Chain A
Amino acid sequence: MKTNDIILQTVTKITVFIIILFSIHLFFAGHYYPGGGFVGGLMTSGAIVLLLLAFDMKTVANVLPIDYKHLIGIGLFFAIGTGLGGLIFDAPFLTHAFTDVNLPLLGETSLHTAVLFDTGVFLVVIGVTMTIIQTIGEDE
């Protein structure tokens, strides 16, 4: 007998966007408030796990055609790249720089290269979590 999961699927379609928005908020608030790349990445993979629960692996792979193993490599590249960026300007490895920029829409914003390092953490956490869950979830 085929089961009908329409309530779960409809709730998931709405909730996933809220969870992803919350994870983006956690990621960008990490410099001044609780949060950061790790929790943000875990929350984003939580949203993808909810999609996997409500739908199936084939559908989610069609919606998000991402190889999560590549995401780990890209994240590590981000982290090493920000570290090497300090060496270019004759500073020790992993030296971070920041500046105040007047952005057109956001106004006076403090931009920090630590965000790029945090992006690396974010991508690695998503990649590792989703690789573990997909590898375990594959049957046979």
Chain B
Amino acid sequence: MFHFIIQLSLVCISLSMLGLIYRVIKGPSVPDRVVALDAIGINLVAIIALVSILLRTNAFLEVILLIGILAFIGTVAFSKYIEKGVIIESDRDL
């Protein structure tokens, strides 16, 4: 029963990822795609958590935190590029 619930949640998250991939491909503007990619990263965290429950291991828990941090840094970099055109400024006060 427990196994079945985990597999059902994996199917649900896969469906939501498919919807987000549709938004990444179709999305009319760049910010749509960036938000969809961010949400794909968070869904990936959920999938890794569920798979590590299925495999009965805690070796993947670092990966969860890693993907969270990388998704955050990537989204910040993308949004800064959209807003300012540069990602790393040399001097902000100019």
Give A contacts to B, CB under 8 Å: 3, 8, 15, 19, 22, 26, 33-35, 39, 43, 46, 49-50, 52-59, 133, 137-139
Contacts and interface: CB of A to CB of B under 8 A. Distances in A.
Interface stretch (B2-10, B16-24, B30-38, B64-72): B64-72
Contacts of B63: 34
B1 interface: no
Given A56-B88, A57-B90, A58-B91, A26 B62 contact: yes
8 contacts: A3-B84, A22-B65, A46-B73, A50-B73, A52-B88, A53-B73, A53-B76, A57-B89
Given A3-B83, A49-B73, A50-B76, A43 B88 contact: no
Interface residues of B, number: 21
Interface string B42-86: 000000000000000001001101100110110011001001101
Given A3-B84, A50-B73, A53-B88, 8 more contacts: A3-B83, A34-B62, A49-B73, A53-B76, A53-B87, A54-B76, A56-B91, A133-B88
B69 A34 contact: no
B92 interface: yes
Contacts of B69: 19, 22, 43, 46
Contacts of A26: 62
B86 A46 contact: no
B50 to A, nearest CB: 18
